[in-house]
Chains A and B, each alone.
Chain A
């Protein structure tokens, strides 16, 4: 595919359960970002990968949240012991290098997470 894809598109889980959200970036993009968007708000930054390493994880709200990108392509956002407040749309974006004044981030359609 030409764009960023995310799976699943919707996820319903129960409080306390573990969930994994997957992001497939645009082929060849070295930079990958995760954002979280609550209802009526703009996206909030969670974590940024440059290649396989997390270059900035300052937006992760607590240690229940963790993300990996083992081969520098697909990334998985993992949430342990989910809470109702984790309900939101989780957006993934990728960009070619992560630097560069003209570089834009390309966003996927998001995963809508609902914690009951």
Chain B
């Protein structure tokens, strides 16, 4: 059974700092991996999607990497801003199926 773990569970940083969120998964037979953002009381917003054959994806200040063989992904946020404060969720889609398997998330607070 696929299990997704995110470290740290919570992170508080001053504005402007670069930071890394970690995600690991137990079964490397994945189709793709996504990073989502969740704001309180709201749904999930997809940030980046990495195919199993790719190593990384970039969007603005966000960069996500994927090492499928070791079951790891990182989300790098450059020059963090208070507006980045949210819960960040990592999810994998397995090769044979359509559902997403999520980690518990990292709660990020960026202090101004």
Residue contacts A-B, CB under 8 angstroms, 26 given: A31-B98, A41-B105, A42-B4, A42-B89, A42-B91, A42-B104, A42-B105, A43-B44, A43-B89, A44-B102, A45-B100, A48-B98, A91-B43, A102-B49, A102-B51, A104-B34, A104-B49, A105-B46, A107-B36, A107-B44, A107-B45, A108-B43, A109-B41, A109-B42, A109-B43, A110-B43
Interface size band for B: 20 to 34
Interface residue A16 (Cβ < 8 Å from any Cβ of B) = no
Decide if A4 touches B43 in the complex (CB within 8 Å). Answer: yes
Contact residues of B: prevailing secondary structure = strand
Assign chain A's interface to a size class: 20 to 34
Nearest CB in chain A: distance from B98 CB, A: 5
Contacting residues of chain A (80-107) with chain B, CB-CB under 8 angstroms: 91, 93, 98-99, 101-102, 104-107
Residues of chain B contacted by A98 (CB below 8 angstroms): 98
A14 on the B face (CB < 8 A): no
Which residues of B are at the interface with A, using a C-beta cutoff of 8 A?
4, 31-32, 34, 36, 41-46, 49, 51, 89, 91, 97-105
With A48-B98, A101-B32 given, name 11 new contacts (CB 8 A): A41-B105, A42-B89, A42-B103, A42-B104, A43-B102, A44-B102, A45-B99, A56-B97, A91-B44, A107-B44, A109-B41
